[in-house]
Amino acid sequence: MSETAKSRKAALLVHLRRSIITQALAPGADLDEALLAEEFALSRTPLREALRDLAGDGYVDLRENRGARVSDMSHTTLRGFFQAAPMIYGAVLRLAAQNARPLQIAALKDAQLQFRAALRGGDIAARALANNRFHEVTGEMADNIYLLPSFRRLLIDHARISMTFFQPRDAETAQKLDAASQQHEAIIVAIEAGDEAAAAQLAEDHWNLSRDRIAQFVMPTALEAPLGQISPT
């Protein structure tokens, strides 16, 4: 593949990842591969390679003879998300505290600066993307070939849900976002100190901070039992 084709493929990957995370491309939407190939001046081979990369991370589903579509957020997938998230976040931050390297800690601090700037700016997509990047870095720190694919898939849906619970501009949301930013700062401190127990506890605290908002997104308001209390089938 030529350098030009590689650059265009990279641009397509950035475009699709951002579009899916921010829900500019809705869950379950079909991708117009012909239009994407034309827009990014790509032949079929690098286009399909890019889609396979995205499918490997969980952004899209590839269907035989039916093309690619954005990964769905059905009741089943969201239920699994809700059940797995606290366990995966805890494991990732514990391993991050074990394995983080100085350059990664610097990247995490930079991601936090971007998150704080996004909070001040008020752009919902920017908030979701900056928060997603912060947690992506912790996954890179964890450096576990078994855990990282699940964590990356989790982050996609967490970011998409964030587009909903970052949106209300009320005092409660502002308070929660400020608390989330403070927890990010504490996570950095715990990781930099190599404090696995503190990092794991912060993962639980961070999850609990957004849990109610996520439950509101996942569960119709008419249902009374919190989703986390519903026994798995």
**119-136: pLDDT as tens digits:** 888 788 898 999 999 999
Helix (H, G, I), strand (E, B) or coil at 53: helix
Measured in degrees and rounded to the nearest 5, phi and psi for residue 232 equal -65, 145
Choosing from 23, 54, 70, the residue where a domain stops is 70
117 and 218 inside one domain = yes
- 6-20, 31-45, 156-170, 201-215: least confidently modelled range: 156-170
- Point out which residues pair with 61 in neighbouring strands: 69
Q: How far is CA 220 from CA 34, 75, 215, in A?
A: 37, 11, 9
Name the residue with tokens 């475009």.
15
101 and 150 inside one domain = yes
Res. 232: pLDDT tops 50:
no
Choosing from 70, 88, 108, the residue where a domain stops is 70
Helix (H, G, I), strand (E, B) or coil at 8: helix
Per-residue model confidence (pLDDT) at position 227: 41
Choosing from 43, 70, 97, the residue where a domain stops is 70
16 and 99 inside one domain = no
Helix (H, G, I), strand (E, B) or coil at 128: helix
* Sign of the CA dihedral with 38 first, then 42, 43, and 48 last: negative
CATH number, residue 189: 1.20.120.530
144 and 209 inside one domain = yes
Q: How many domains does the chain have?
A: 2
pLDDT band (50, 70, 90) for residue 137? very high
pTM above 0.95, yes or no: no
Q: Tell me the residue range of the domain where 34 lies.
A: 3-70
Res. 107: pLDDT tops 60:
yes
Res. 233: pLDDT tops 90:
no
Tokens of 224: 């009374």
- What does the pLDDT average to over 143-147? 95
